[in-house]
Amino acid sequence: MSPGPAAEQAEGVDTARMTVGAPGRPLDRWWSLLFAVSGVALLPWIVLLYLFQPAVAAVGNLALAATGALAVLAVGLLVSAALTLARSRYLAMISTATATLALCAGFFHVVTGTADNPRAAAFATVVVVGPVAVLGILVARHGARPRRRGTDRLIAVLFVLGAVATVLAWVRAASMGFDAQYAHHLKIAWIALDVAEAGALLLTAAALWQHPARVPAAAAVTGTLLCSDVWFNVVGATGEARTNAIQMAFVSIPLAVAALWVGVREIRQARQAE
């Protein structure tokens, strides 16, 4: 006796629940292994940075490095505003990536001391980056849970104001000029960034293995950190250091794309499971 339509439908729902959002899916295990190995592989590289990375080095195209980072940050904030109003599932991932970029760019700007007035630059960075990062993190933590329309509009306005503040910060920096010849505290800056990357890779691996719902946020952090590393390393370096950075980008960029793709795929599969 063959099962009826109701039984077949129930079986289909059960299968979806088992395959989507369930820990330990075969493909996720391979992705998890890739990110875990990559995170562990960064540890000896961090040791090499500690031993051989100079604390001070010549700056490459500082204007392009700053302009590119702030432009992407402003776009990320505007996209987050649009996704908030649309109540999109991708909001948490985009806002997480935007907050990560804000923290990364602000950290590099303050630590490397490339501004003419480091104290004023540090204060301005905290005033702009701090609220932007906090807003992105809070929105990401809320996830796709429903909110009142009025709350969505308020959050969207805050994202837009963050984008305006980012553009104004760039205008101020450009008016003062990007005249720094050297970047300082590079050992601290690069070690901190690589430690963050290793942690993000391992968290993404763990999320894929046991907590699929956390994959989009973890993957967004991982992808953003890797792309930021490549951008500041390639554009901000000179000579042989830039050549080495370009070579390493052939590893970092595919890994960043893989992380972001895994995050997007998880969101799509969660939507299909409903």
Q: Indicate the SS3 state at residue 57.
A: strand
3-state secondary structure of 24: coil
Alpha carbon of residue 261 to chain centroid: 13
For 34-67, write each residue's pLDDT tens digit.
999 999 999 999 999 999 999 998 888 888 888 9
Integer Cα distance of 249 and 255 in angstroms = 10
pLDDT of 29 reads 87
The string of pLDDT tens digits covering residues 81-127 is 999 999 899 999 999 999 999 999 989 888 887 766 667 677 777 88
Confidence band, pLDDT 50/70/90 cuts, at residue 17: very low
3-state SS assignment for residue 59: coil
Mean pLDDT value across the chain: 85
Residues 6+ apart with CB under 8 A from 141: none
Share of the chain above pLDDT 90, in %: 56
Residue found by looking up tokens 């950290």 in the block: 107
Alpha-carbon torsion angle 117, 123, 128, 133, nearest 10: 120
pTM of the model: 0.86
* Cα–Cα distance for residue pair 10/12, rounded to 1 Å: 5
DSSP 8-class letter at 116: S
Q: What pLDDT, in 10s, does the model give residues 231-262?
A: 999 998 888 888 999 999 999 999 999 999 99
Q: Is residue 226 over pLDDT 70?
A: yes
Residue with tokens 């890779």: 201
E strand intervals along 10-83: 57-58
Report residue 170 CA to chain centroid gap: 20
CA dist 237 and 161 (Å) reads 32
Say if CB 263 and CB 215 are below 8 A apart.
Answer: yes
CA angle 240, 244, 247 (to 5 degrees): 140
Q: Where are the domains of the chain?
A: 26-54+186-274, 60-180
Amino acid at 105: A
Q: How far is CA 121 from CA 54, 112, 135, 177, 192, in A?
A: 23, 11, 21, 13, 20
Q: What span, in angstroms and rounded, lies between the C-alpha atoms of 129 and 2? A: 62
Closest to 142 in 3D by CA, of 127, 132, 152, 150:
152
